[in-house]
Amino acid sequence: MSNPTMYHISSYTVSGLLLVYHVSYFLLV
């Protein structure tokens, strides 16, 4: 990517969304 900062921010956002998804999934089950 031409802008590594945006790449890191997007990767952190994806990781955060996956974390929230797994936590809510375990709480519902």
Name the residue type at position 26.
F
**Threshold 0.85, pTM exceeds:** no
* Residues 1-29: tens digit of each pLDDT: 577 888 888 899 999 999 999 999 999 88
What residues contact residue 1 under an 8 Å CB cut-off, 6+ apart? 7
Amino acid 22: pLDDT: 95
What residues contact residue 7 under an 8 Å CB cut-off, 6+ apart? 1
Amino acid 1: pLDDT: 54
**Residue 14 gets which letter from DSSP?**
H
